[in-house]
A and B are shown apart, each in its own frame.
Chain A
Amino acid sequence: MIDEARLKILVESAKFDVSCSSSGSGRRNEGGVGNGYASGCCHSFTPDGRCISLLKMLLSNDCIFACKYCMNRCDADMPRASATPDEVCSLVMDFYKRNYIEGLFLSSAVHVSPDYTMEQLYLTVKKLRTEYNFHGYIHVKGIPHADAEIVRKTALYADRMSYNIELPSERSLKLLAPQKSRESLLLPMARLQRERLEFKEEKRKGYFLPAGQTTQMIVGASPEKDGAILRLSQGLYRKNGLKRVYYSAYVPVVHDSLLPELPGGALREHRLYQADWLLRFYGFDAEELLPEDGNLSLEFDPKCAWALAHMELFPVEVNRAPLEVLLRVPGIGARSAQRILDARRFTKLTFEHLKKMRVVLKRARHFITASGKFYGANERAVRGLLAAEESKSNAVQMSLFPNETALSALTGEL
C-alpha cells in the first residue's frame, strides 16, 4: 500500500489537470474487474465543486522540464516523490472495488527523459490491464518528445490519451514552456488520431483509445484572446477529431516575472466552456461568436451575446421554429429544444406549457413567441434585464460596481 505522504505529493502535483471525464468508453469486462460506463460516472465532489471520477495522480513529480506556470518545474522547491507501477495498480484495484473511482488518470512529470517516462506509464497501464486484469477506465497523458512506438503501444491499453497544448500560441509556449514545442504536442496527437482510424478501419480485435483524445489549455497565463483560443479549439474538434478541449483558468502556483500575478478568472473560464459547448452541440462557428482578436463578453453568456447582436432574427415562434433555430435561443438548451419538438406534435404550445415543461424562460422569453404571444421586454430593455439576471446568478463577482444598464434594470429606471 502506498503511504499517505507520497500519495499526497503525487496527487497535489496532478490536480491542476482539469480533465476528469470517464465517458465514451464501452470497454467490456473480460474476466476481471471493471468495465467502461459510456455516460461516465462522478463518484464524489470536492469542495471546489469539481467531480472525482478518476484517480488522478502522477507516477512521479520529479521533472527535468522547467515550464514556468507549473508547480513541478525542475527549479521549484517542492517535495518530490515517485510511485512504483505495482503501488499504482493496487491502489486502483482497491479504490475501484470500493466504488471510490471509475478508473485511473495517470500522468507524470518528465522524469529522467521523455522516453523513460513514457515507458514507465506504458508499463504501469499494461500491468494494470494484463496482470491485475482491470477493465475499467484508463486515461494516460502523452509525454511530449517521447518515442512514437511506446505511445502507440500505450494507446492499446488506454481508453483515452491526451497531450496538453498548454498554451494557445507557439510564442507563449516558447516563452513559458521552453522545452515543449507546438510540434511535440500536435504531431503525436495527429499520429494517434490516424492510428486510431486505421485500427477502426481494419476492425482489429481489442481497443485503441475507444474514448479518443482530449487536450487542455491554460487560460490567462499568456496574452491570447478568447477569439484565437476558440478558433484553435474549433480546429482541434473539426480537423483532429478531439473529444474535448479543457480550459483551465491559470492559478498562480509559482512566481515568475513572466507570469501575471492575478489569477486568470473563473468567469472567463466559464465563458470559454459555454462557447465551447456552442461549437460542439449547437451548430455555432467560432467566427460567428467573436472576432479573432476579441474576448467573450463577461456580462452575457456567449449565446445571449450573439442573440443580442442579431435581434433582427427574433422573436421566433416555438410552435414552428426548426430545431437549429430553437437551439439558438438564449436559455433553451439541447434538452429543452428536443422536448419542445416532441410536445408541439400534439398541442399548440403556450407559455404556460413551456413553464410546466421547465423550459427556462428567464432569458428565452425575450426571444420567442408562443402561440403568437410575446412576453419579453422591448428591445431596448432586454440588454439591461439580461445583464441584471447574469450578475445575480454569477457566483463570481465581476466588478465592485455593477454596470450601469444592469443597475437601472434592477431599480426599474429603464
Chain B
Amino acid sequence: MIYFYDGTKEAFLTALLLSYDDPLPVLTSGNCQLALGQRTVFVRADAEKAQKAERRLLSIDKDCMRDLDLLLRSGDADKDTVALGYFRMIAKRQRPVREMLGEDDVLSAENHIRRVTFEIHRMKGFLRFMECASGALYAPIVPDNDICDLLVPHFRSRLPMYFFVIHDVKRKKAAVYDGEHTFFAPLGEAEVVLSADEAAWQRLWKEYYASVNIPSRERLKQMRGYMPVRYWKFMPEKH
C-alpha cells in the first residue's frame, strides 16, 4: 500500500501508526509512480495520535526525534519510506537501533542522515554572504536538502551584530536574523541592493583565490570532489 502524507512530523507519526501492520508500506510526500491496481491511502495528521507515538518512541530512544527531523529534511525521493523503515524497527525491537549496522533499514537511514549533516557542514564553508547597501548580509543557497534554518545558529554566534538572510532559492524560503531574533519565511525572489564596496571586495577575493593556487600542481578532479560544481553557483571565486 502507498501512503501519501504532507511531509510534516505529525503526519509522519500518524502514518507510522496507520501502516504498522502493513508488511510492505511505501510512504511519500511527493510524486510517486503508481502500479496498476495499487492501493493508496492519504494520511491526515492526527495531533493526538502523533503526540502519543512521539512519547512512546522517545521513551525507547531519547535521540530518535533528531534523526526524524534530519531524515525529513533529506532531498532524496525515498527518504519517507526509509524513515518509516527505521522507525518501524525502533518500535519492533523496542530499543535504539542506531548501531545495528547489519540491518538495511538502519544503514539506509544512516546514509540519508549523513548526507544531510554533511551538507550542513559543507554549507558552513561554501555559503557566501553579500553585503547590502543597508549593511545587512544576504546569502542565496541551493542545497540538496532542506537545511537553511539549521545554518542560522552557526552564523548567529559568529556574526551576532549583523542582520542576515540565508535564502534557499530552490525551496523559496529564507531564514532571517535581525540582530536579536531568528525567523523563517517563504521568500520567492529577493531584491538585493549591494553596498558600494561589495564588488571591490569580491574582486579582491577572486584575486586571492587566483594567487594562492599553485598552477604546477593542478588537480581539478580532487577540487571538484571536495567542492562539487553544484555549489559553485553563488561563489564569487568560481565566476
Contact = CB atoms under 8 A, between A and B. Distances in A.
A69 B103 CA distance: 55
A50 B214 CA distance: 9
A98 B201 contact: yes
Given A98-B131, A343-B101, A47 B213 contact: yes
Given A12-B211, A45-B227, A1 B204 contact: yes
A136 interface: yes
Nearest to A349: B102
B143 to A, nearest CB: 15
Contacts of B226: 42, 45, 49, 51
Tell me which of B160, B207, B214 has the highest count of chain A C-beta atoms within 10 A of its own C-beta: B214
Nearest to B214: A48
Contact of A46 (B126, B137, B212, B235): B212
Contacts of A55: 208
Interface in A289-336: none
A15 B210 CA distance: 11
Contacts of B99: 342-343, 345-346
A117 B145 CA distance: 48
Contacts of B223: 45-49
A4 B207 contact: yes
Contacts of B209: 44, 46, 52
B180 interface: no
B159 A97 contact: yes
A70 interface: no
Contacts of B100: 343, 346-347
Interface stretch (A33-41, A118-126, A139-147, A151-159): A33-41
Given A99-B139, A343-B100, A44 B211 contact: no
Contacts of B215: 47-48
B201 A395 contact: no
Contact of B129 (A91, A97, A349): A97
B239 interface: no
A251 B214 contact: yes
A356 B101 CA distance: 9
A8 B211 contact: yes
Interface of chain B, main secondary structure:
helix
B53 interface: no
A48 B213 contact: yes
Contacts of B137: 97-98
Contacts of A99: 125, 127-129, 139, 155
A175 interface: no
Contacts of B212: 11-12, 14-15, 46, 52, 56
B218 A48 contact: yes
Tell me which of B121, B211, B217 has the highest count of chain A C-beta atoms within 10 A of its own C-beta: B211
Interface in A1-57: 1-2, 4, 7-8, 11-12, 14-16, 29, 33-35, 37, 39, 41-52, 55-56
Contacts of B216: 251, 263
Q: For chain A, which range describes its interface: under 10, 10 to 19, 20 to 34, or 35 or more residues?
A: 35 or more
Interface string B157-190: 1111110000000000000000000000000000
A42 B121 CA distance: 9
Interface in A75-106: 91, 94-95, 97-100, 102
Contacts of B230: none
B20 interface: no
B150 to A, nearest CB: 15
A35 B126 contact: no
Interface string B193-226: 0000100110111011111111111111111001
B97 to A, nearest CB: 9
A56 B212 CA distance: 8
B52 interface: no
Contacts of B57: none
Contacts of B237: 44
A307 to B, nearest CB: 24
A353 interface: yes
Nearest to A4: B207
A50 B222 CA distance: 8
A238 interface: no
A299 to B, nearest CB: 21
Tell me which of A55, A100, A342 has the highest count of chain B C-beta atoms within 10 A of its own C-beta: A100
A186 interface: no
Interface string A374-397: 000000000000000000000100
A343 B107 CA distance: 10
Contacts of A51: 226
A98 B205 contact: yes
A16 B201 CA distance: 24
B62 interface: no
Interface string B39-70: 00000000000000000000000000000000
10 contacts: A37-B154, A43-B125, A45-B226, A47-B219, A47-B220, A48-B219, A98-B205, A343-B99, A343-B102, A353-B101
